[in-house]
């Protein structure tokens, strides 16, 4: 069997080597006639595939006759302009090289916007930040097509383009000039004769493409080929699966793992490693964690919430009946719309029905004006479950009552009827049993499921939601505090509506209720780079004239959280019921932003102001949406320059990436910023995904001296209203459905360490692929004195551990006869459910050698003498 396994693994290695050799053979080394000085021609182009979203491609030639595509559809540079879905396009790029050898790529972004893009690179593989130059802004119209550039002797570049015609045939020529591709002169009308028609047509793989030709060194092309190959090789390597594993490890027998843990070799790690990322995505807030049972309670849903894409999404959404909507003399300017019923009724069915439990109390409230009305909770079969009468009132008046349904129903509705004319607004129904019994509180079952992770921090309110879809959609914390009817609802970047019922007060309160540090994330003065509103994404940063006010908002938030109850903003917190400060220590500035000049200017301004006024607040910076690439590199450069204490990294990837990159943080420079891994997840909710995350987290713990915090994302998703998958916890109106990924988070959250103990691991198989799928992390917890061993087995065979603890004194002093807590998560790798069992029946001795089944994650907690033997 063993031999068979080895043969398999050998075959695999041969296969990988053959692929390498085959790829290498495609590169002619020096057997062709290069042009002068060892140079070749490089053709830069884009195709129309995927609606022009495949980015910049290259092909090379020695004679301009035979062209060799590098890739062929490999994207060496992708446009990051505009929203996901229909933007991020690159049209008709041109490539030129300046006298310093720096390449400049210019391209059109779409057929509408008066903007062109620029990015520069020395090696054509690593690109510096992109900029989008709004050259037609002053003209107030006109697109920018077929950009080209010509230079005079002094490197003054004239950029020209054709505007007004999508094909570029009949448009008007405009020009601008630049010497540095940062500053551009005012746009002028030009002339067709100004254009030298830089593009040429060549045939690649039988297809004609247009692009620009540069003479470049062969070594540069060779590097492009190698980089492209290694990126493709990486992608292939990371394409693992449970099915693939059973092939890869066919014949593999149970593995013996000898582990020596030595407490004399340890390092201090962060005790805040597991936290949660909360974003109102997938109905996580309204219709989710926020316990409000009425949907569209303020009649403020609007066509614009979904950018007009759903004609049924209006002020009337979730309501039926005969009623009109008005906005004259509403209850508050921030909440202008209300409904009017005349001798009729109006009914709301909440979020997929209103779930109520017999005998429980529900707080009903409403603002009405006009005739007396009656509110009834009604079951689907028409039976009235509870009711109350709302007195007539000549002006807006808030009425409250407690409703106690006489039956349990999952999909009730709330009906309000009148025999005269009644205006109504802010119709609300809350279970009294919210999390910790808070008014305007959180759904108890969901909040408890989150609390059970024992998160050390909560990041909120996003994600992309924090910086929003366009300038007007940036999340403004001041709009989310105060009486509910005065909060300013807003469309949600995920294309629905946020009532702001959960606002900054509720976030801080939740953190306090679960003993987690609040980590608010605020926009860095720019909206989301994926904005669809406002054209140029975040390039329309908050105008500089308004930035002082924005910076003040950021400072005011810190006062709101920490100021004493007599300070301007501390008073507002105190009036909301929390005179004591919330003890805010962290603040995130920016969320995976595109690092541009517009961003940098505003980011620095905010950071400077916070540092000056609140030097004790730890600022968390941003380094883009991936673990590599331009924003990651530029974000880290900025963090170095600004000496930021922590930066926020994000990556969503295949489980194979997590398996193959366990050394990601071992490579990090310990003298630089610490890392908050603010968003991560492997693509899926199977046991295989969860274990890949668990495995990776053993490496994160090992690097807990550089990684300070980590949070899986996204957290919540309401079934049927999900914009993003996978998520950690799914739910509907009555059920909470934690995923295997959740249980892994809970295992880490409930078993945090403060010190990492080094261990020596020897396995009985000489197989690096198998070794990678075994994870171990041993820590000690200062508060309890426990030694915590985490073991992940991502293999289709069992592990037989033999764990030796050195320099650790067991609590009983009696050779590990004490009972330990032994928790195991296990499941079929393709399954979406996982079993968790916890037992305290084993002694330390038994636990240290207990076989670990295939595809499982074990945590052993060993009580020890607090003082470890030196």
Q: Which residues bind ligand AHR (CB under 6 A)?
A: 279, 281, 462-464, 591-592, 625, 650, 679, 713-714, 724
Sheet strands (E) in 526-611 = 586-589
57, 624, 634, 681, 864 from 628: Cα distances, Å: 20, 8, 10, 16, 42
Distance CA 89, CA 84 (A): 10
Q: 300, 506, 559, 592: which one is catalytic?
A: 592
Taking CA atoms, 745 is separated from 275, 520, 710, in Å, by 9, 21, 10
How far apart CA 397 and CA 400 sit, in angstroms, is: 10
3-state helix/strand/coil string of 61-120? ECCCCCCEEECCCCCCECCCCCCCCCCCCCEEEEEEECCCCCEEEEEECCCCCCCEEEEE
Smallest gap from residue 299 Cβ to ligand AHR (A)? 28
Which lies closer to ligand AHR via its Cβ, residue 132 or residue 712? 712
User: Please, which residue, 678 or 694, has the CB nearer to ligand AHR?
Assistant: 678
Residue 734 DSSP label: S
Instruction: Decide whether 431 or 520 has the Cβ nearer to ligand AHR.
Output: 520
Closest contact distance (angstroms) between CB of 465 and ligand AHR is 6
Tell me the closest approach of the beta carbon of residue 490 to ligand AHR, in angstroms. Answer: 16
* C-beta neighbour count of 187 within 10 angstroms: 22
Provide the minimum distance between the beta carbon of 463 and ligand AHR in the complex, in angstroms, as a whole number. 3
What are the angstrom distances between the C-alpha of 331 and each of 100, 178, 342, 484, 826?
A: 64, 54, 19, 11, 54
Closest alpha carbon to 574 in 508, 629, 496? 508
Q: Which of 27, 98, 36, 82 is nearest to 63 (CA)?
A: 36
- Shortest gap between Cβ of 511 and ligand AHR (angstroms)? 19
Q: Which helix (H) or strand (E) holds 749?
A: helix 740-750
Q: Which is nearer to ligand AHR, 279 or 425 (CB)?
A: 279
Q: Which residues, in sequence order, are CB contacts of 234 under 8 Å at separation 6+?
A: none
- Residue 300 or 648: the one with the smaller Cβ distance to ligand AHR is 648
The answer to whether 518 and 458 are in contact (CB under 8 A) is yes
592 tagged catalytic: yes
Q: How far is the CB of 248 from ligand AHR (least distance, A)?
A: 31
Tell me how far, at minimum, the Cβ of 220 lies from ligand AHR, in Å: 33
Could you tell me if residue 74 is left (phi over 0), alpha (psi between -120 and 50 degrees) or otherwise beta?
A: beta
- Which one, 281 or 598, has the nearer CB to ligand AHR? 281
Tokens of 78: 């992708």
**Toward ligand AHR, which CB reaches closer, 345 or 724?**
724
CB 567 within 8 A of CB 561: no
List of residues 6+ apart from 22 with CB closer than 8 A: none
In whole angstroms, how close is the CB of 275 to ligand AHR at the nearest point?
14
User: 726 or 810, CB closer to ligand AHR?
Assistant: 726
Measured from each CB, the residue nearest to ligand AHR is 463
- Shortest distance in whole angstroms from residue 86 CB to ligand AHR: 17
Cβ-proximal residues to 38 (8 Å cutoff; 6+ apart), any chain: 217, 218, 219
Q: Please tell me the total number of residues recorded for the chain in this structure.
A: 870
DSSP H helices, 194-249, are: 218-237, 242-248
Distance from C-alpha of 670 to C-alpha of 713, rounded to nearest angstrom: 26
Q: Which is nearer to ligand AHR, 625 or 635 (CB)?
A: 625
Residue 866 CB contacts under 8 Å (≥ 6 apart), including other chains: 782, 785
Active site residues: 592
């Amino acid at each position: 069997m063993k031999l068979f396994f080895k043969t398999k693994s050998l075959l695999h290695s041969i296969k990988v080597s053959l692929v390498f050799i085959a790829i290498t053979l495609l590169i002619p080394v020096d057997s062709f006639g290069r042009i002068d000085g060892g140079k070749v021609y490089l053709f830069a182009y884009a195709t129309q595939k995927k609606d022009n979203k495949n980015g910049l491609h290259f092909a090379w030639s020695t004679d301009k006759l035979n062209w060799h595509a590098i890739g062929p559809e490999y994207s060496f540079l992708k446009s990051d302009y505009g929203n996901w879905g229909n933007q991020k396009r690159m049209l008709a790029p041109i490539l030129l090289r300046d006298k310093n050898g720096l390449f400049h790529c210019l391209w059109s972004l779409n057929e509408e916007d008066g903007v062109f893009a620029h990015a520069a690179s020395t090696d054509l593989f690593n690109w510096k930040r992109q900029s989008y130059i709004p050259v037609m802004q002053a003209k107030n119209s006109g697109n920018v097509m077929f950009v080209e550039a010509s230079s005079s002797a002094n490197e003054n570049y004239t950029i020209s383009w054709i505007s007004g015609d999508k094909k570029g045939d009949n448009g008007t020529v405009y020009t601008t000039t630049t010497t540095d591709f940062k500053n551009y002169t005012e746009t002028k009308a030009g002339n067709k004769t100004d254009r030298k028609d830089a593009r040429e047509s060549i045939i690649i793989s039988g297809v004609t493409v247009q692009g620009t030709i540069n003479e470049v060194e062969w070594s540069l092309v060779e590097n492009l080929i190698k980089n492209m190959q290694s990126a493709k090789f990486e992608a292939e390597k990371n394409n693992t699966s449970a099915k693939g594993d059973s092939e890869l490890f066919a014949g593999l027998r149970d593995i013996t793992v000898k582990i020596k843990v030595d407490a004399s070799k340890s390092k201090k790690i962060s005790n805040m490693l597991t936290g949660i990322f909360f974003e109102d995505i997938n109905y996580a807030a309204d219709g989710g964690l926020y316990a409000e049972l009425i949907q569209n309670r303020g009649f403020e849903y609007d066509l614009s919430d979904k950018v007009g894409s759903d004609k049924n999404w209006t002020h009337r959404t979730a309501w039926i009946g005969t009623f009109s909507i008005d906005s004259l003399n509403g209850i508050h300017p921030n909440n202008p719309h209300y409904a009017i019923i005349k001798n009729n009724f109006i009914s709301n069915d909440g979020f997929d029905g209103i779930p109520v439990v017999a005998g429980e109390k529900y707080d009903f409230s409403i603002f009405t004006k006009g005739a007396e009305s009656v509110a009834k909770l009604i079951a689907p079969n028409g039976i009235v479950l509870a009711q109350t009468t709302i007195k007539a009132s000549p002006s807006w008046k808030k009425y409250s009552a407690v409703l106690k349904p006489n039956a349990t129903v999952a999909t009730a509705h709330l009906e309000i009827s009148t025999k005269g004319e009644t205006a109504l607004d802010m119709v609300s129904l809350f279970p009294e049993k919210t999390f910790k019994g808070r008014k305007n509180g959180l759904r108890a079952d969901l909040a408890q499921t989150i609390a059970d992770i024992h998160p050390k921090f909560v990041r909120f309110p996003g994600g992309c939601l924090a910086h929003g879809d366009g300038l007007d959609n940036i999340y403004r914390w001041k709009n989310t505090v105060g009486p509910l009817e005065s909060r300013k609802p807003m469309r949600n970047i995920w294309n629905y509506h946020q009532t702001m019922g959960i606002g900054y007060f509720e976030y801080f309160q939740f953190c306090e209720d679960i003993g987690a540090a609040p980590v608010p994330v605020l926009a860095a003065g720019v909206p989301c780079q994926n904005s669809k509103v406002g054209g140029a994404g975040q390039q329309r940063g908050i105008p500089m004239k308004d930035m002082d006010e924005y910076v003040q908002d950021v400072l005011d938030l810190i006062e709101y959280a920490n100021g004493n109850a007599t300070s301007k903003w501390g008073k507002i917190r105190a009036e909301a019921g929390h005179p004591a400060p919330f003890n805010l220590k962290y603040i995130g500035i920016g969320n995976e932003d595109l690092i541009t000049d517009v961003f940098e200017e505003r980011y620095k301004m905010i950071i400077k102001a916070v540092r000056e006024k609140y030097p004790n607040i730890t600022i968390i910076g941003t380094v883009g949406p991936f673990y590599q690439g331009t924003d990651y590199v530029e974000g880290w450069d900025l963090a170095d320059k600004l000496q930021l204490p922590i930066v926020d990294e994000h990556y969503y990837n295949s489980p194979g990436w997590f398996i193959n990159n366990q050394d990601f943080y071992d490579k990090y420079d310990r003298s630089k910023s610490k890392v908050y891994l603010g968003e991560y997840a492997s693509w899926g909710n199977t046991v295989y995904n969860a274990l890949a995350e668990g495995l990776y987290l053993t490496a994160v713990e090992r690097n807990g001296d550089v990684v300070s915090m980590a949070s899986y994302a996204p957290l919540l998703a309401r079934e049927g209203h999900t914009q993003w998958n996978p998520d950690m916890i799914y739910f509907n109106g009555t059920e909470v459905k934690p995923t295997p990924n959740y249980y892994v988070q809970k295992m880490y959250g409930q078993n945090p360490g403060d010190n990492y103990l080094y261990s020596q691991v020897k396995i009985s198989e000489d197989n690096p692929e198998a070794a990678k799928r075994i994870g171990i992390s041993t820590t000690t917890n200062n508060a309890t004195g426990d030694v915590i061993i985490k073991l992940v087995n991502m293999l289709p065979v069992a592990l037989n551990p033999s764990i030796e603890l050195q320099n650790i004194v067991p609590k009983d002093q009696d050779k590990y006869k004490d009972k330990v807590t032994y928790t195991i998560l296990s499941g079929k790798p393709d399954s979406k459910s996982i079993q968790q069992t916890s037992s305290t029946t084993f002694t330390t001795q038994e636990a240290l050698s207990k076989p670990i089944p295939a595809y499982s994650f074990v945590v052993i907690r060993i009580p020890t003498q607090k003082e470890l033997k030196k």
